[in-house]
Structure 1
Amino acid sequence: MPRFLRRLLPALLLPLPGCDGREEAAPAMPPPEVTVARPAQREVTDWDEFTGRFAAVERVELRARVSGYLDAVTFTDGQLVRRGDVLFRIDPRPFEAALAQAEGRVAEARSRLALAEREQARATALLRERAGSEAVAEQRTQGAEGARAQLATITAELQRARLDLEFATVRAPQDGRIGRHLVSPGNLVSGGEASGATLLAVIVTVDPIDISFDIDQAAALRYARLAAAGSRRSSREFANPVQLGLEDERDFPHAGRVVFVDNEADAGTGTIRLRARFDNPGGQLFVPGAFARLRLLGSAPYRALLLPDAAIATDQSRRVVYVLGPENRVSMREVRLGPLNDGLRVVRDGLRPEDEVVVRGMPRVRVGEAVAPRRLPPAAPLPDGRS
């Protein structure tokens, strides 16, 4: 063996560090720190959320009741009007002439009636004195009755002429907001009682205002069973409360009440139409035709367990929470959820009041492994939304 190999051999046979057949034990990792809390317990009431559309309580189409040329529009498009306000004027001169003519015919008919009554009285007096014939007396009586009937007919024509003159001035039939005028001065408008009469404008009431919304069959059946059990009164018999929120509002700050439940379900969708009524001072906030979110009282008050949404995880189609068990080991628990209530989620099933649930630190949790819990008071909303 060469001399240099004999010198290297002892060095090669020395054991290398860490290769003596024994592995050094890795330092144990401390359990992850998590925050746990028991579910909150309080009395809650369920509210079912829907989308609705505002609708005026009353909507009136202003149509001409007499024909003629439109003289004036006396309002500003879109303004609020009061009952009795003058809105349109139709040229009154033809109706004034017709009224004067009817008044003249009435005066003439009254004069004829007075003459006929005098002749009837004279004929009756002569008949009593046996100086006149019975036939003449009957003729005079018939003439007086005919004159009286003619006066009644002409008087009715006079009343109609007065109405036509009154209808030449179109007034607001109710308080509300008027839309734009659909006919400008100088145009000929057609009057009448039928739908063929010229449409002049539309007035809608603004305070109060209704909102229409539909509930599905499942909700309708649940409400009916609650009413039968005495837990929640039927909206057909009681004005159940409704809360409303607009698009730029986070919560439901406006309070109203149910005023109508339809008597049948829609044949196409199976839904039932309801109407709720809200105050709308000034008519500025709620506008007919606009959409809004609302929620309807869905249950009687009951005792519930609640957790922040951040403490609830999703496992495929299941909703689960992580519950602290013996030796601080974590287990997964499937839960059935209810609606939000003041920032907390109602847990209907799968949780006990004494359970300690992981509310923060969930990404560090492994089922079956121990954790280092930091305990908080019963669950409260997490403002920063962290898990």
Structure 2
Amino acid sequence: MLGSNPELRRKPGLRGKSRGLSLLGGAFGALLFLAACEEQNTYAPPPPPTVTVAQPLIRDVTEYLEFSGTTAAYARVEIPARVPGVLQAVHFEIGSEVSKGDLLFTIDPQEYDASVQATEAELARAQAVLSEAEKTLGRARTLIQRGNISQASLDEAEANYLSAEAEVLVREANLTSARIDLGYTQVTAPMSGRVGRNLVDVGNLVGQGSATVLTDITVYDPIHVYFEVNERDLLRAIERIRSQIGEGGSARDQANFPIEVGLTTEEGYPHVGVTDFTESQVDPNTGTLQVRGVLENPGKQPALLPGLFTRVRVPIAERAAMPLVSENAVGFDQSGRYLLVVNDEGIVEKRTVTLGQLVEGLRVIERGIDPSDRVIVTGVQRAREGIAVQAEEIDMMSLLLSANGASASETGRRGDGQRATGDSPGAAPDAATD
């Protein structure tokens, strides 16, 4: 274009001027672009993180001591063969309930029946001899008065009578023993309970040389539970119990206090009972005291069987107006357990706390917070001590209801026999809560 225009060719300065204007415009555009970029990169602080807060739930709670225990039969007896002989019959169904006096086994009684008959005959003969000796003694006493016999004859008659009388006593004792042995051939239940399996089959010789155990009977209702109390918990329990019943309370009052028991697959502590025995001293090797409780365990298929592992808790005190917070709100660092709270200015503060037991999914706070504190229950990971947050308030009671609902749902899912994981409402706090 420039080469074809004669005017431009005649004015070479105009071309340079046009090129300068173009460069000036490009520089001006670059300055505008840089200014726009600088304005877009200006730093803007992020908004405060949003957290959920709730004031502690204030409730009266029961203070518990929690232990691990083992169930044991209320009573158990082995049924032996008390006389030797051949086992003739079994009269019970394995695993059934039997009553005291029910016939369980029969040992061949023929030998013992014959022994009874022979002893009865010997007793009859001894009684006849005694009768004759009594008559002889009577005649001797009459004749001695007439002077027809000597004193020696009278003494002999009295001795024969006493000997015959003693022989009758011996034969009566033998007959009693023979009848007892005959009775032992009918093996009966010494108490009511659940009978086990027969340990010896019909046709075997039993009781030869030593007593042969034939079966056993176990009493499931009631049932015992044994648990060990460490020294620290023992002293706490003694202090609380004495404060409740007074120093003048009897030993039975101090020994019989309520207990609650739950199995590993059960929610909470559905079985209740009382303690009925406490060892007289602390074991110096373990530093624990063994305690035994007794619980009702009815039904043909009782819920508790001997030898099961159990969770045991013992209520020792009622505590009024204790603060409870969600377990999720509790944090842990080198200083121990803590809660984060939001003050009136919206600033996060850290409160070191002492934890108590778990109550229906909420944790009791022994020390460290006030009832009016707004505790961060969700969004704890986004909160830091000293920063500002946007707090949304909820009621701690809603978390309690949610925990109970989740617990009920978990119990329903465990209907297939699978064991759930996680803490149960009765789980003991860890060592850091002390």
Same-fold status (TM-score > 0.5): yes
Q: Does 1:324 align with 2:338?
A: no
1:244 positional shift: 1.6
Aligned length, in residue pairs = 382
Q: Structure 1: any 5+ residue segments left out of the alignment?
A: none
In 2, Cα distance between equivalents of 1:245 and 1:255: 9
Residue aligning to 1:85: 102
The Cα offsets for residues 238-293 of structure 1, whole Å up to 9 and x where unpaired, read as 42111122233211112111111112333442222111111111252211112222
Instruction: Say yes or no: does 1:52 pair with 2:64.
Output: no
Q: Which of the numbers 377, 380, 385 marks the counterpart of 1:367?
A: 385
Q: Which residue number in structure 2 is paired with residue 178 of structure 1?
A: 195
Q: Assess, with a 3 A threshold, how the Cα gap between structure 1 residues 344 and 222 changes in structure 2: closer, same or farther.
A: same
CA distance in 1, matches of 2:26, 2:208: 122
Which runs of 5 or more residues in structure 2 are unaligned?
Answer: 1-14, 407-434
Residue 259 of structure 1 aligns with which residue?
276
Query: Structure 1 residue 381: deviation in Å?
Result: 3.0
CA displacement, residues 43-71 of structure 1 (integer Å, 9 cap, x when unaligned)? 11112222222111111011111011110
The whole-number CA distance in structure 2 between the counterparts of 1:339 and 1:166 is 59
Find the aligned partners of 1:178 and 1:348 in 2 and give their Cα distance. 50
Deviation at residue 316 of structure 1 after TM alignment: 4.4
Identity in percent: 36
Richer in helix (by share)? 2
Amino acid in structure 2 at the alignment position of 1:11: G
Letter of the structure 1 residue corresponding to residue 343 of structure 2: G
Q: In the alignment, is residue 74 of structure 1 matched against residue 83 of structure 2? A: no
Aligned mates of 1:39, 1:235 — CA distance in 2 = 40
SS at match of 1:185: coil
- Counterpart residue type for residue 292 of structure 1: T
Match of 1:213 in 2: 227
Q: CA separation in 1, counterparts of 2:179 and 2:315?
A: 54
User: How well do the aligned residues superpose, as a CA RMSD in angstroms?
Assistant: 2.5
Kept in 2, the 8 Å contact 1:40–1:380? The answer is: no
Q: Does 1:354 align with 2:372?
A: yes
Equivalent pair of 2:325/2:363 in contact (CA under 8 Å): yes
1:381 maps to amino acid: L
Q: What is the distance in 2 between the residues matched to 1:255 and 1:42?
A: 23
1:244–1:178: structure 2 CA closer, same or farther, 3 Å change rule?
A: same
Quote how far apart the aligned CAs of 1:15 are: 1.7
The equivalent of 1:118 in structure 2 is: 135
For residue 27 of structure 2, the aligned residue among 6, 12, 34 is: 12
- Structure 2 letter corresponding to 1:360: T
Pairs within 5 Å for 1:279-294: 279-284=296-301, 285-294=303-312
- Residue 132 of structure 1: CA displacement? 2.2
CA distance in structure 2 between the partners assigned to 1:18 and 1:329 by the alignment: 39
Partner of residue 186, structure 2 = 169
Tell me which structure has the larger Cα radius of gyration. 2
Correspondence for 1:132: 149
Partner Cα distance (1:380, 1:270) in 2: 43
Given that residues 255 and 277 in structure 2 are in contact (C-alpha distance below 8 angstroms), is that contact kept between their aligned partners in structure 1? Answer: no
Q: Which moved more, 1:3-12 or 1:347-356?
A: 3-12
**Using the alignment, how far apart are the partners of 2:152 and 2:297 within structure 1?**
75
- The alignment status of 1:149 with 2:163, answered yes or no, reads no
Q: Per-residue deviation at 1:131? A: 2.4
Residue aligned with 2:384, SS: coil
More displaced 10-residue stretch of structure 1: 297-306 or 99-108: 297-306
1:337–1:345 CA contact under 8 A, matched in 2: yes
Instruction: Name the counterpart of 2:432.
Output: none
CA distance in 1, matches of 2:236, 2:243: 11
Question: Counterpart of 2:324 in 1: which secondary structure?
Answer: strand
TM-score by length of 1: 0.91
